[in-house]
Each structure stands twice: as C-alpha cells, then as structure tokens.
Amino acid sequence: MNFDLEDKLNEYVKRNDLDSAIRIAESELSKIPETEFHQLIGMNLLHLESKLDKYISNFYSSVKLKYALSFGKNLKALYCEMNGFTINYDRWFIDLFSFSEIAQEDYEWLADYDHLTKNDLTLTGFENLQKVYEDVYKNKKYEIPEIEQAYEVAELLIILRLQELFRETYKNAKSNGKKWTEFPMFVTAHDYEMIYKTE
C-alpha cells in the first residue's frame, strides 16, 4: 500500500473533491512505466448508477420499516463497503449497512451497524482489471517494481471511482427527491482508511 499517496488523496476525499483526487491518482499512475493496470486511466463505474440507485432504495425501504418498529432507534447514516477486491479478483461487490449511532472523531463505529443488505451488488465494468489482479497473484508478479507501484496506485483509484459512483448517484437521486439522500453514506473498501462521505 502506498500510504503517502493514500494520505494525500484522503485530504481531497475529506473535502469532497473527488475529481482532484482522481486526477492526482491517474497522474501518478501515468508516471509509472506502462503496465496492465494503466487501462484504468479514464475508466469509471458510472454505468452502474441506476442499478445502485435501485439497490440503495430497496435497502432504505427495508431498514426504514425496521427502525419504525424498533423503539428508540432512528436511522442516522448508511455505509457502503466494497469487498477486499485486490485478493478477491473473481468478483467485486458492495454491501450496505445502516446505523442509528455515529461518532465524529473516528470511524470505529462502523463496526457497530444495525442492519446490512441481504444481497450484495456486483460491480461490473472492471472485469479486465480483475484478470490483471489474478495474473499478478497467480504468477507472483508483485515483485516486479513497476507492477508493484502501479498496483498500489490502481487500488486507490478503484476506490475513488466507487466513491465517484456514489457521489453521482446521490446527486441525481437528491434532485429526484429520494428520501435516502437525507442520510449520509460513507463509502470505502474493506480495510481501507480512505472513506468518502456523501454530501
């Protein structure tokens, strides 16, 4: 993991400036000698927007009812976690979680969710990259310097693209009056510190 780059990108993510974060990550990737990971430059997940909208809407409908039936608990926030995608290259997916308690100082509270989705949502469009991750692991290519460097930038760029998908989905759902946009959604992948919060 490129912790310096993650810290730098995280500053932009916290300011809700995903466009700058993506630009910086793509620029860093382009400085590395060409690898299979470079196909990620310019790619996004925005084709999944309507599917994600429906997925969040369905989850919101089910948890809204559960909170209505539970005394003293109200929905405060939602959380999306992508699976540990670098080592689970066969399928990339997300799960959603809901919370009645959140904290401001850190993200330890993300472990104490009330409800989670019964079914995950498969992320499509990056299948060629999944094959690249598989090739790197199966053929132990991680030892090759440019592959290691590109790998470390690519993993952060993939998370940024997921966060971009949520930003755009929330923006359009808000303009269509979807109630779930009133609740913040925190978005990242398993075991990553770079967490985006929808506005």
Alpha-carbon distance of 28 to 22, in angstroms, equals 10
Q: Where are the domains of the chain?
A: 3-197
How much is the pLDDT for 142? 84
How much is the pLDDT for 167? 97
pLDDT in tens, 10-43: 999 999 999 999 999 999 999 999 999 999 999 9
Closest listed residue to residue 189, CA positions, set 102, 142, 126? 126
Please provide the average confidence, as pLDDT, over all residues in the chain.
Answer: 94
Contact 187, 80 (CB under 8 A): yes
Closest listed residue to residue 96, CA positions, set 77, 70, 73? 77
Q: What is the mean pLDDT of residues 66-73?
A: 84
Q: Which residue has the higher pLDDT, 109 or 43?
A: 43
Phi then psi for residue 42, to 5 deg, are: 90, -10
Per the rule left: phi > 0, alpha: psi between -120 and 50, beta: everything else, 121 is: beta
How much is the pLDDT for 68? 85
CA 107 to chain centre: 15
pLDDT exceeds cutoff 80 at 96? yes
Percent over 90 (pLDDT), the chain: 84
**What is the band of 107 on the pLDDT scale with cuts at 50, 70, 90?**
confident
pLDDT in tens, 157-195: 999 999 999 999 999 999 999 999 999 999 999 999 899
